[in-house]
Chain A
Amino acid sequence: MGNTAGMRDMAGMRETAAERRNGSWIFWLGGRLARLAALLIAVSAAAFFLVSLSPVDPLAVNVGQAALGSLTQEQIERLNEYWGVGIPAGRRFLAWFGGILRGDLGLSLLYRRPVLEIIGEKAVNSAFVMAFAWIFSGAAGVALGMAAGARRGSLWDRAITAYCMVISGTPAFWLALVLLLLFAVQLPLFPVGFSVSVGVEASQAGLADRLWHAALPALALGLTGVSNIAMHTRSKMLEIMESDFIAYARSRGETKKRLLFGHALRNVLLPAVTLQFASISEIFGGSVLVEQVFSYPGLGQAAITAGLGSDVPLLLGITLISAIFVFAGNTAADLLYGILDPRIRRERRKGALL
Chain B
Amino acid sequence: MREKTLALLLLSLGLLLGAAFLGALWEEEAAVVDFTRKNLPPCREFLFGTDWLGRDMLKRTAAGLSLSIRLGLLTAFAGAVIALALGMAAALLGAWADRLVAGLTDLIMGIPHMLLLILISYAAGKGAAGVAAGIALTHWPPLARLLRAEAAQIRTSPYVKISEKLGKSPVWIAREHLLPQLLPQFLTGLVMMFPHAILHEASVTFLGFGLPAETPAIGVILSESMSYLMTGKWWLAVLPGIALVVAVLLFEALGQCLLRLTDPKGAHA
Contact = CB atoms under 8 A, between A and B. Distances in A.
Contacts of B124: 53-54
A181 B107 contact: no
Given A55-B125, A177-B222, A285-B112, A192 B230 contact: yes
Contact of A3 (B110, B113, B142, B203): B142
Given A177-B222, A181-B237, A327-B110, A319 B115 contact: yes
Interface string A1-26: 10110010000000000000000000
B123 interface: yes
A289 B122 CA distance: 17
Contacts of A300: 114
Q: How large is the interface on B (under 10, 10 to 19, 20 to 34, 35 or more residues)?
A: 35 or more
Residue among B103, B110, B146, B207 with the highest chain A CB neighbour number at 10 A: B110
B195 A169 contact: yes
A43 interface: yes
A205 interface: no
Residue among B113, B119, B206, B248 with the highest chain A CB neighbour number at 10 A: B119
Contacts of B196: 1
A166 B242 CA distance: 11
B118 A304 contact: yes
A173 B203 contact: yes
B118 A178 contact: no
Contacts of B145: 3, 7
Interface stretch (A44-52, A110-118, A339-347): A44-52
Interface residues of A, number: 52
Contacts of B208: 304, 308
B115 to A, nearest CB: 6
Interface string A315-354: 1001100110011000000000000000000000000000
Given A292-B206, A307-B209, A181 B199 contact: no
Given A42-B107, A185-B230, A307-B209, A285 B113 contact: yes
A319 B203 contact: no
Contacts of A173: 203, 206, 222
Contacts of B119: 47, 50-51, 307, 315, 319
A174 B115 contact: no
B113 A56 contact: no
Contacts of A307: 118-119, 121-122, 209
Contact of B241 (A39, A56, A177, A286): A177
Contact of B123 (A50, A172, A181): A50
A100 interface: no
Nearest to B111: A323
A281 B113 contact: yes
Residue among B112, B123, B141, B199 with the highest chain A CB neighbour number at 10 A: B112
A104 interface: no
A219 interface: no
Nearest to A7: B145
B53 interface: no
B237 A282 contact: no
Contacts of B118: 288, 303-304, 307, 315
B245 A166 contact: yes
A177 B240 CA distance: 12
B207 A53 contact: no
B222 A4 contact: no
B252 interface: yes
B110 A315 contact: no
A144 B122 CA distance: 39
Nearest to B137: A50
A96 interface: no
A50 B120 contact: yes
A285 B115 contact: yes
Contacts of B249: 165-166, 169
Interface of A: 1, 3-4, 7, 39, 42-43, 46-47, 50-51, 53-56, 165-166, 168-174, 177-178, 180-181, 185-186, 192, 281-282, 284-286, 288-289, 292-293, 300, 303-304, 307-308, 315, 318-319, 322-323, 326-327
Q: Return the 8 tightest CB-CB contacts between A and B, nearest first.
A: A285-B114, A169-B248, A3-B142, A50-B123, A174-B241, A284-B112, A55-B125, A53-B123
Given A39-B106, A173-B203, A284-B112, 16 more contacts: A51-B119, A51-B123, A55-B125, A56-B126, A166-B245, A169-B245, A174-B241, A177-B225, A181-B234, A181-B237, A192-B230, A285-B113, A288-B115, A322-B111, A322-B115, A326-B112
